[in-house]
């Protein structure tokens, strides 16, 4: 039988473990945050594309490991170069980032973390499709259309919850894109894309996309005042770059999508009846660095 001294020592050991466990866990979280910060900076700032690629490959696994802890949904990664966007009901959040690799190749990484299952984040694997390839496709985390998300809204269709995630994705040095991606959960699995948008010609779309010149800003976002999804109308313009003859730029007018019961999001033409002197520009998702664009690429000179 254990004597009183042995029992007391065991109780003291257990007590010390209970007291120090939260401290150790907090210390681990701080270490993870520092690792994530460093890796995100390597992805954006490393001069060698091979170093950026290596850091990009590591990041999803690092995020998964860092988030495999109680309370991890509350980690903000404030000092990291990661775009973090929450669902309006805080049921999940999206952690996304990007890297410029060899030449003009651009890749994205992402993790979706559900609050109710915070220790099992879902890694998103970027495929970066052309918009025309996926207008009617349902995607999964394994073939995600990579983007940096900057806003999420919630909508309900036929008694089911759908989320619309608005994101930015650079295509080339000359073109950027904005996307309105549908996110929903079915049988415990996350899916991307659903036919809840109806275009001006009556066609059902699984997601919205807008491709425009990298030199300009373009809007695709939800406007709470108008209660509509609003986007810039684009027109062709002569490109200042010798590699491109034409680029798409905003003309100062806007169209959108309005919610209609039993119909979903329906196209609305020309929300405003006069153009503006300058189309509003949204704040970049990530900070720009001197001599580099939002994607971390060196800024090229225009042809004379």
Percent of the chain whose pLDDT exceeds 90: 58
The DSSP letter of residue 240 is S
Which pLDDT score, from 0 to 100, does residue 292 have?
A: 45
Are 46 and 101 in contact, with CB atoms under 8 Å apart?
Answer: no
Which pLDDT score, from 0 to 100, does residue 29 have?
A: 67
Confidence of residue 23 (pLDDT cuts 50, 70, 90): very low
Confidence of residue 256 (pLDDT cuts 50, 70, 90): very high
d(CA 70, CA 85): 20
Are 213 and 278 in contact, with CB atoms under 8 Å apart?
Answer: no
Label the pairing between strands 83-86 and 175-186: unpaired
Confidence of residue 273 (pLDDT cuts 50, 70, 90): low
Confidence of residue 285 (pLDDT cuts 50, 70, 90): low
d(CA 196, CA 204): 7
Of 152, 131, 160, residue with least CA distance to 264: 160
3-state class (DSSP) for residue 17: helix
Percent of the chain whose pLDDT exceeds 70: 79
Other CB atoms within 10 Å distance of the CB of residue 99: 24
pTM for this predicted structure: 0.81
Residue 224: is its pLDDT beyond 50? yes
d(CA 236, CA 133): 22
Q: In what order do the strands lie in the sheet with 106-114?
A: 83-86, 92-100, 106-114, 122-125
**Residue recorded with tokens 């042809």:** 303
Cα 69 from chain centre: 23
Of 121, 29, 111, 115, residue with least CA distance to 77: 29
Q: Give me the chain's average pLDDT, please.
A: 82
Q: What is the mean pLDDT of residues 274-291?
A: 46
Question: Which residues lie below 8 Å from residue 1, measured CB to CB, with a gap of 6+?
Answer: none
Label the pairing between strands 204-205 and 197-198: antiparallel
Of 80, 85, 48, 49, residue with least CA distance to 62: 80
Burial class (CB in 10 A: 0-12, 13-18, 19+), 269: exposed
Confidence of residue 275 (pLDDT cuts 50, 70, 90): very low
Element (H, E) at 182: strand 175-186
Q: Return the minimum-mean-pLDDT range out of 9-18, 25-34, 166-175.
A: 9-18
Which pLDDT score, from 0 to 100, does residue 283 have?
A: 47
Confidence of residue 154 (pLDDT cuts 50, 70, 90): very high
Are 87 and 163 in contact, with CB atoms under 8 Å apart?
Answer: yes
Q: What is the mean pLDDT of residues 228-236?
A: 95
Q: What is the mean pLDDT of residues 240-256?
A: 88
Q: What is the mean pLDDT of residues 210-233?
A: 94
Which pLDDT score, from 0 to 100, does residue 286 have?
A: 52
Q: What is the mean pLDDT of residues 62-77?
A: 92
Which pLDDT score, from 0 to 100, does residue 4 have?
A: 52
Cα angle value 128/130/132 (rounded, 5°): 140
Higher pLDDT, 261 or 169: 169
């Amino acid at each position: 039988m254990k004597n009183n001294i042995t029992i007391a020592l065991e109780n003291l050991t257990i007590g010390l473990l209970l007291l120090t466990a939260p401290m150790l866990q907090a210390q681990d979280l701080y270490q993870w945050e520092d690792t994530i910060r460093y890796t995100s900076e390597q992805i954006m700032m490393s001069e060698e594309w091979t170093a950026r690629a290596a850091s990009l490959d590591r990041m999803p696994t690092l995020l998964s490991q860092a988030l495999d802890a109680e309370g991890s949904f509350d980690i903000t990664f404030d000092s990291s170069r990661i775009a973090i966007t929450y669902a309006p009901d805080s049921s999940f959040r999206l952690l996304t980032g990007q890297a410029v690799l060899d030449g003009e190749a651009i890749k994205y990484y992402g993790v979706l973390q559900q609050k109710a299952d915070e220790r099992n984040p879902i890694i998103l694997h970027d495929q970066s499709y052309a918009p025309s390839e996926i207008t009617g496709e349902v995607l999964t985390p394994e073939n995600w259309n990579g983007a940096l998300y900057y806003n999420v809204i919630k909508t309900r269709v036929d008694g089911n919850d759908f989320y619309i995630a608005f994101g930015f994705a650079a295509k080339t040095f000359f073109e950027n894109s904005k996307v309105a991606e549908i996110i929903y959960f079915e049988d415990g699995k996350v899916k991307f894309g659903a036919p809840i948008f109806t275009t001006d010609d009556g066609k059902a779309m699984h997601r919205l996309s807008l491709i425009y010149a990298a030199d300009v800003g373009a809007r695709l976002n939800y406007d709470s005042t108008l209660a509509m999804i609003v986007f810039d109308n684009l027109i062709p313009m002569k490109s200042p770059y010798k590699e491109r003859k034409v680029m798409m730029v905003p003309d100062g007018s806007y169209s959108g999508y309005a919610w209609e019961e039993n119909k979903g999001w329906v196209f609305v033409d020309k929300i405003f009846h006069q153009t503006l002197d300058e189309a509003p520009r949204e704040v970049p998702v990530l900070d720009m660095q001197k001599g580099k664009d939002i994607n971390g690429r060196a800024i090229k000179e225009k042809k004379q």
